[in-house]
A and B are shown apart, each in its own frame.
Chain A
Amino acid sequence: VATADHNVPTIEQHLPIKEELGRVQVETLKKNCATHEIELYGLGHPYQGIVHVIGPELGITQPGMTIVCGDSHTSTHGAFGAIAFGIGTSEVEMVFATQCLLQSKPKQMRININGELKKGVLSKDIVLYILSKISSSGATGYAVEYAGSTISNLSMEARMTVCNMSIEMGARCGLIAPDETTFKYIHGRAFAPKGTDWVHALQYWQTLKSDEDALFDEEININAAAIEPMITYGTNPGMGVGVNGLVPSEKEMDEKERASFIKAMNYMGIAPGGAIKGQKIDYVFIGSCTNSRIEDLRLVADFVKGKQKSDDVEVWVVPGSKQVEQQAIAEGIDKIFSAAGFQLRQPGCSACLGMNEDKIPAGKYCISTSNRNFEGRQGAGSRTLLASPLMAAAAAITGRVTDVSEML
Chain B
Amino acid sequence: MSKSKVDTIQSSFVPLNIENVDTDQIIPARFLKGTTRDGFGKNLFRDWRYENDDEAKPRPGFVLNQPEYHGKILVAGKNFGCGSSREHAAWSILDYGFTAVVSSFFADIFKNNALNNGVLPVTVSEFFLQKIFEQDNEATLTINLPNQTIVIDTTGAKESFEINAYKKECLLKGYDDIDYLLSIKNDIEVFEKTQQY
Query: CB within 8 Å of B: which residues of A?
Result: 6-7, 19, 21-22, 24-25, 28, 70-72, 74, 86-91, 93-94, 97-98, 102, 104, 136-137, 140-141, 167, 170, 172, 236, 256-257, 259-260, 263, 353-355, 359, 362, 372, 374-377, 379-381
Contact = CB atoms under 8 A, between A and B. Distances in A.
Contacts of B84: 71-72, 86, 372
A60 B79 CA distance: 34
Nearest to B79: A137
Contacts of B77: 260
A354 B29 contact: yes
B85 to A, nearest CB: 4
B85 A170 contact: no
Interface residues of B, number: 44
Name, among B29, B53, B113, B178, the residue most crowded by chain A CB atoms within 10 Å (CB to CB): B29
A71 B22 contact: no
B117 interface: yes
A29 B25 CA distance: 26
19 contacts: A24-B35, A25-B33, A28-B35, A70-B85, A86-B109, A87-B109, A88-B86, A93-B178, A102-B166, A137-B20, A172-B108, A236-B20, A260-B77, A355-B29, A372-B24, A376-B47, A379-B30, A380-B47, A381-B47
Given A90-B176, A375-B22, 8 more contacts: A6-B32, A71-B85, A87-B109, A88-B113, A137-B79, A260-B19, A354-B28, A374-B83
Contacts of B25: 374-376
Given A25-B33, A72-B84, A140-B79, A376 B28 contact: yes
Contacts of A86: 84-85, 109
Interface in B1-30: 1, 17-20, 22-25, 28-30
B169 interface: no
Given A380-B28, A380-B47, A88 B112 contact: yes
B82 interface: yes
A132 to B, nearest CB: 14
Contacts of B33: 7, 19, 21-22, 24-25, 355
A14 to B, nearest CB: 21
A104 B47 CA distance: 34
A90 B79 contact: no
A91 B114 CA distance: 11
Nearest to B86: A88
